Structure 1
Amino acid sequence: MTHDWVPGRAAGDDSDLLQILGPDGQVTRRDLPCPGDDVVREALRLMLLSRALDEKCIRLHRQGRLGLYAPVLGQEAAVVGSHLAIDPAVDWLVPASREQPAMLRHGWPLDRLFASLLGRIEAARIPDDVRMLPRQQAIATQLPHAVGIAWASSIRRREGVTLAYCGDGATSEGDFHEACNLAGVMGVALVLVIINNQYAISTPVSKQTRAPRLADRARGYGFPGVAVDGNDLFAVYEATRQAVERARTGQGPTMIEAVTYRIGFHNTSDNSSLYREPGEVAEARQRDPVARLTTYAVTAGLVDRDTLDAQENEVRAEVDAAFERASSYPAPGPEEAFRHVFAD
């Protein structure tokens, strides 16, 4: 966690970001460990599953068969790389609004995810044995809850770490600052991942803050912050692994800023062409995290093209089957508005 910002860094200069796997799929840092082969294979499958889920949900929304959906497109390495560093059996996950692959890996069945998008309330419930909060659409309000979970775990002497996500827009909310301050004061076992995808809906980061890096804010709360190349699964995984190790050994919270780019729209109600230039998006596609990891995996002999093709077909079939199951679940009636609200 020594990648501090150097005063005078030029705008757009990413030389301060921790990077292990370059855009060409080649390792750029030999002094830092790469994830094991099994981790890379699991990461690649989760990222392909995430892409298949995005494609399916966008298509269903366009057909009027699915509600609002926020794609993960372009942010897969930031989400998957960080989640692979925790243990769903003992650790808590507190997502924001577009961490679908992390939620699936943590134990939320794919058909239940679809049920939530279809409004099938009871079928969408997170299983009781899954240590995870629901997705949060109200910006940053999940963060005080994440600190509360981590603090409660400490009081109850539980070993688990809490991994929480938020976007760059959430760092402009009061709940973000209150949560970070309490986390620092109490020294809780929290890993906070800021997925800086450059836009809070249509507001760019440059109009949200004058801070050179969002991770620099961690200093004000008394714990480490590190900015990483959010399109580099290896860098995200390593930074999170170190942060989880710190948390498990009682050294308190860590803030990780994963600098990435939201290639797709904010959600299916958004027209991102109104506030972004086509060239900007095209340039971001050159840093596609899935293509980067795929190149590495093929070059390293972990997979071949035939295997990848088969895996893409497999995850698409998995997504289709999960949607069909979710579609068969009963739709809620008016009484559902009162269920779990009143005692009688």
Structure 2
Amino acid sequence: MTRTQAPRSSPSRTSPSHLLPTEEPLALLRPDGTPVEGSPLVMPADDVLVELYRRMVVGRRFDTQATALTRQGRLAVYPSSRGQEACEIAPVLALRPDDWLFPTYRDSVALVSRGIDPAQTLTLLQGGWHLGYDPYEHRVGPQCTPLATNTLHAVGFAHAARLKGEDTAALVLLGDGATSEGDTHEALNFAGVWQAPVVFLVQNNGYAISVPLDKQTAAPTLAHKGIGYGVPSVLVDGNDAAAVYAVVRDALRTGGPTLIEALTYRIEAHTNADDATRYRTSDEVAAWLARDPVDRLSAYLTARGLLDERTKDDVAREAETFAAAVRAALNVDVEPDPADLFEHVYATMPAHLRAQAEFLREESA
């Protein structure tokens, strides 16, 4: 800009205070299951709370079964989400029928809760060459293994849906480590500029593999980062399923972007290839076990008379039946077809690959 040019005017902006999260995490239930008095959140309906409990119990049993299958060699790798069930189940239950979910590699429980067949959910982690489920059938994007690439996918999808006049929001799941990636910053920036209907749910479980949060950021909270992009932010107790459901439900209905940081904890190791004892203590894990999301909701529902021992037993049996079906599906040996190496790589197969494919067919015959 030259000295004679007038400065470009900036658009009027409201006070940034409405973008900031609360000082303390929002919650509806304390760790012992008693209600939080004076919470600004609206408690979900009783039937929703019971369904949250049921899905978390089934989801946890699926998670432990998948971990066992990894030890048996049936899965190449499995990132457990034990302890994070409230962040897996509650957001999925809050989705509207036309909303889309963009998950990470740790969100298999969320996919199963969305209605995806568990065997199809685990295809990626089994080492299969393709995505095991149809994204359009379930309105779920492919599980994202590279950190934070799904954030950009979600923003692009949500912006496109708005341009087409669709009443659709995108929910993108990510971990605290993904907030250190450039893709997340780009996604938040464009979400703010476009006011795209996308909800970023950061499952802050304290570690990016072995790197603790204080080695990743100096921000007061990850939720505070939203103000830099003009994105309203929320800090919530990520082990309170009722509260997570309430904040995600409300965020999906704003018509714009929201950054939610859910404080939670990964009880198991990062994956079966990780030794978590090298970077955290057993006392730390025990402290978070006392904040268990399933036990918390169970205590509240029991005190309200909405959950009795018979119902608990019924849900436990349902979870065992589900786990048995997962075992049966994953214990089936699939004979791979070598010709699949050439499929779905190019729209038009190059001549040298066509020659190789023909050679393979002749050798196989």
TM-score, normalised to structure 1, is 0.91
Give the gaps of 5 or more residues in structure 2: 1-16, 350-365
Task: Select 1:149's aligned residue among 152, 157, 167.
Answer: 157
Q: Which amino acid aligns with 1:341?
A: V
Matched residues, number: 331
Quote the residue 1:195 is aligned against.
203
3-state SS of 2:201 partner: strand
Quote the residue 1:81 is aligned against.
90
Q: Determine the C-alpha separation between the residues in 2 that align with 1:242 and 1:16.
A: 19
Q: Determine the C-alpha separation between the residues in 1 that align with 2:66 and 2:307.
A: 27
2:185 is the alignment partner of 1:177: yes
2:328 is the alignment partner of 1:324: yes
Query: What is the Cα deviation at residue 309 of structure 1?
Result: 2.1
Contact 2:77 2:126 in 1 (8 A): no
Write the deviation string for residues 197-231 of structure 1: whole angstroms up to 9, x where unpaired: 00000000010000010010101101200111111
Contact 1:119 1:331 in 2 (8 A): no
Contact 1:61 1:67 in 2 (8 A): yes
Q: Determine the C-alpha separation between the residues in 2 that align with 1:123 and 1:80.
A: 22
Task: Select 1:272's aligned residue among 276, 301, 305.
Answer: 276
Q: Determine the C-alpha separation between the residues in 1 that align with 2:217 and 2:64.
A: 33
Contact 1:22 1:28 in 2 (8 A): yes
Q: Determine the C-alpha separation between the residues in 2 that align with 1:43 and 1:296.
A: 12
| Identical-pair percentage | 40
Q: Determine the C-alpha separation between the residues in 2 that align with 1:238 and 1:130.
A: 23
Q: Determine the C-alpha separation between the residues in 1 that align with 2:58 and 2:126.
A: 19
Query: What is the Cα deviation at residue 30 of structure 1?
Result: 4.6
Quote the residue 2:122 is aligned against.
114
Task: Select 2:313's aligned residue among 309, 318, 329.
Answer: 309
Quote the residue 2:303 is aligned against.
299
Give the gaps of 5 or more residues in structure 1: 7-14
Write the deviation string for residues 287-308 of structure 1: whole angstroms up to 9, x where unpaired: 0111101111111111212321
RMSD over aligned CA atoms reads 2.0
Aligned ranges 1:12-31 → 2 under 5 Å: 16-31=24-39
Contact 1:119 1:332 in 2 (8 A): no
3-state SS of 1:256 partner: strand
Quote the residue 2:290 is aligned against.
286
2:63 is the alignment partner of 1:54: yes
Q: Which amino acid aligns with 1:76?
A: E
Contact 1:3 1:16 in 2 (8 A): no
Contact 1:168 1:197 in 2 (8 A): yes
Query: What is the Cα deviation at residue 277 of structure 1?
Result: 0.9
Q: Which amino acid aligns with 2:31?
A: P
Q: Which amino acid aligns with 1:66?
A: L
Quote the residue 1:41 is aligned against.
50
Contact 2:200 2:259 in 1 (8 A): yes
Query: What is the Cα deviation at residue 2 of structure 1?
Result: 6.1
Query: What is the Cα deviation at residue 335 of structure 1?
Result: 2.8
TM-score, normalised to structure 2, is 0.86
Contact 1:115 1:327 in 2 (8 A): no
Task: Select 2:219's aligned residue among 211, 216, 229.
Answer: 211
Q: State which structure, 1 or 2, has the greater radius of gyration over its C-alpha atoms.
A: 2
